[in-house]
Each structure stands twice: as structure tokens, then as C-alpha cells.
């Protein structure tokens, strides 16, 4: 039973990271109606930005995270201005090809500057105690500094690391803040208006281009946070680090209903749980295939995703 709970908690942690990445996909698609397949590589850039900053001895962890967020935010805005804005009225295929081109550009720049060798990422929770230790016959012990020093031969049957705890809590906090931002602020309501009808929103005086740029900035900032959490949990980074998580986050966005922010969160969490349970009880080599198989089944049964809604277009 404890092993299942452990797998479930790890799945929630991984799913929370997928959810943060999926939010970037679903926000951009909901407003600009385009798929930014370079989003996964923005994650990689955020990881390297945090890694390089933390390598500077005087820089505290929190500042490294802030710098990674700033770098990714600026990068997202630049990509939108240079690569996507000129194609605002272009066919979807042209935008898709451009997104793939930007993705390869970022990967190759990282290869030239950082080489293909994996680099070890220092966890943001390095040296921190486990968040929760559960001992046989004992009550849960919160923030215990060491498993063996005060408790003799007792061995924990369940350990939740600080990285896992942070991934889950940070994703929940960001989800709540993002929901409040969209529903309560003027900029958020402008995003909702643009997602419904960009033409009507522009007639009402909303700066559509500025709103799309803001969406890219927020999505890229979330990618930086996800990069730090992911690299802390899986402490290695290469120029291809963001590729597979980016694809899986896109799957999570489609799974939950692309264009729906709660759907991205639900889809990411479910995807992470399915992946971890598949690795534990079926096959670690087939876990990715199982994830995509589940997506196919969901789309066959419910093409709009879990929280997606069907939109009828008048001809």
C-alpha cells in the first residue's frame, strides 16, 4: 500500500510539472489559436539560465529562479515578436513550421554554447530535509532532519522529498493565482475576450497584439518555473531536456481540453500519475507508449478533451 502511495505522490509531482508547462500551451492556443512547439525548448533555456546563475557562488537560489523567469519571459516575447507576429494572418501550417524551426534553432544554439554533455543541476532544495517521513507504527513526522539520528533503527516506509512537495504546492499556488489574474484583472479579462473573438475584442478597444504578447510572456515565465522544478527533481540537463516534457505537456493540454486552464492542470496531473503507475506496474519502457495510447482513447471517446467544449462555427 505504501509503495502505491509513493508512486501516486511521485505521479502528482511529475504531473504538476507537466501542468505548468501545459498552461503555456493552452493559454497561447486559447488566445492566438496556434501551437507553440518551441515551448519545450524554452524550458531547456530556463534550466540552463538557472544552472549558470546558481554556479555563481554569490547568487542565492531565489535570485537564480528570478533570473531564469526573466530570461524565459524575454525570450518568449522576442520569439512572439520576431517569429509569430508577422504570421498572424498566415495559414496554420506556416505557423506550425515556424514553431518547429524555432525549436530546432534553440536546441542548436544550446548545443553550440553548452555542448551535448549532460550537466548536473543543483536542486533548489539541496540540503533540505524530507518534507514527510512515515515510520511503521508511528505518526507522520514533518520536516524531520534525519531518518536515523533521533529514531534509532526505525526506517521510513514512505518518504516525500522536498522537491516533490515543492512541485505540487507551487503548481497549485500558480494555478490559483493565474485563475484569479484571468478572472479579476483587466488584462485577464482582455485575454478572455480575445479567446472568444479577437475581431470583436479589437472593436471594443482591446489591444489584441499586446494581449497575445502578454500571454506568451506568462506562458514562458511558467515554463521557467517548471524547468527549475523539473531539473531539481531529475537533476540533469542537456539541450534536449525540454523536448519530451514539452510533447507530454502538449498531450496533457489536449487531454484536459486545449484552451482550458483548469483542463491543462487536470490533464497534466492525470498524465503524470498514469506515467508513474505505468512505470511501476506495467513497464518503464512502455510508459510513454501507454501515455499516448490513453490520449488516443480519450480523443476517440471525447475529442474535445476532459474540460474542452465544442465550438459551433456559422458558415
How far, CA to CA in Å, does 277 sit from each of 14, 104, 144, 285, 290? 12, 32, 27, 12, 10
Q: Which residues pair with 160 in a beta bridge?
A: 132
Residues 55 and 95 in one domain: yes
Reported as a single tens digit per residue, the pLDDT across 160-176 is: 788 888 888 899 999 88
CA distance 20 to 264: 8
Residues 284 and 244 in one domain: yes
First to last CA, the chain: 55
CATH number, position 228: 1.10.3470
| pLDDT score at 162 | 82
Residues 98 and 224 in one domain: yes
| pLDDT score at 132 | 60
| pLDDT score at 147 | 46
| pLDDT score at 18 | 92
* Residue at a domain's end among 144, 160, 176: 160
* Residue at a domain's end among 160, 181, 209: 160
Residues 120 and 61 in one domain: yes
Reported as a single tens digit per residue, the pLDDT across 30-49 is: 887 888 888 889 999 999 99
Q: Which residues pair with 79 in a beta bridge?
A: none
Q: Show the cell assigned to 121.
A: 543541476
| pLDDT score at 62 | 83
| pLDDT score at 124 | 79
| pLDDT score at 128 | 61
Residue 309 lies in a domain: no
Residue 314 lies in a domain: no
* Residue at a domain's end among 160, 177, 208: 160
> Containing domain of residue 141, as a range?
127-160
Residues 142 and 187 in one domain: no
Residue 294 lies in a domain: yes
Residue 307 lies in a domain: no
Which parts of the chain register pLDDT below 50? 137, 139, 141-149, 151, 315
Q: Provide the number of structural domains found in the chain.
A: 2
Residues 119 and 251 in one domain: yes
Residues 98 and 43 in one domain: yes
| pLDDT score at 42 | 93
pTM score, whole prediction: 0.86
Amino acid at each position: 500500500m505504501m509503495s502505491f502511495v509513493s508512486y501516486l505522490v511521485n505521479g502528482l509531482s511529475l504531473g504538476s510539472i507537466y501542468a505548468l508547462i501545459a498552461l503555456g500551451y493552452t493559454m497561447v492556443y486559447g488566445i492566438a489559436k496556434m501551437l507553440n512547439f518551441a515551448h519545450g525548448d524554452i524550458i531547456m533555456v530556463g534550466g540552463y539560465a538557472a544552472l549558470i546563475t546558481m554556479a555563481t557562488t554569490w547568487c542565492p537560489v531565489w535570485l537564480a529562479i528570478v533570473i531564469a523567469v526573466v530570461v524565459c519571459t524575454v525570450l518568449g516575447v522576442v520569439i512572439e515578436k520576431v517569429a509569430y507576429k508577422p504570421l498572424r494572418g498566415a495559414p496554420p501550417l506556416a505557423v506550425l513550421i515556424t514553431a518547429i524551426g524555432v525549436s530546432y534553432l534553440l536546441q542548436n544554439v544550446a548545443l553550440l554554447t553548452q555542448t551535448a554533455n549532460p550537466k548536473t543541476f543543483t536542486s533548489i532544495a539541496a540540503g533540505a530535509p524530507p518534507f514527510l517521513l512515515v515510520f511503521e507504527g508511528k505518526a507522520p513526522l514533518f520536516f524531520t532532519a534525519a531518518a536515523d539520528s533521533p529514531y534509532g533503527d526505525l526506517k521510513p516506509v514512505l518518504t516525500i522529498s522536498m522537491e516533490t512537495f515543492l512541485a505540487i504546492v507551487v503548481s497549485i499556488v500558480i494555478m490559483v493565482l493565474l485563475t484569479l489574474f484571468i478572472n479579476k484583472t483587466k488584462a485577464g479579462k482582455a485575454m478572455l475576450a480575445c479567446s472568444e473573438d479577437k475581431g470583436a475584442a479589437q472593436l471594443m478597444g482591446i489591444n489584441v497584439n499586446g494581449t497575445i504578447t502578454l500571454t506568451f510572456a506568462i506562458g514562458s515565465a511558467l515554463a521557467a518555473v517548471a524547468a527549475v522544478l523539473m531539473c531539481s527533481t531529475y537533476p540533469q540537463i542537456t539541450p534536449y531536456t525540454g523536448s519530451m516534457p514539452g510533447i507530454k505537456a502538449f498531450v496533457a493540454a489536449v487531454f484536459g481540453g486545449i484552451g482550458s486552464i483548469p483542463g491543462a492542470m487536470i490533464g497534466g496531473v492525470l498524465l503524470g500519475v498514469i506515467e508513474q503507475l505505468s512505470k511501476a506496474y506495467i513497464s518503464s519502457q512502455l510508459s510513454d507508449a501507454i501515455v499516448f495510447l490513453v490520449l488516443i482513447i480519450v480523443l476517440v471517446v471525447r475529442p474535445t478533451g476532459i474540460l474542452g467544449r465544442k465550438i459551433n462555427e456559422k458558415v
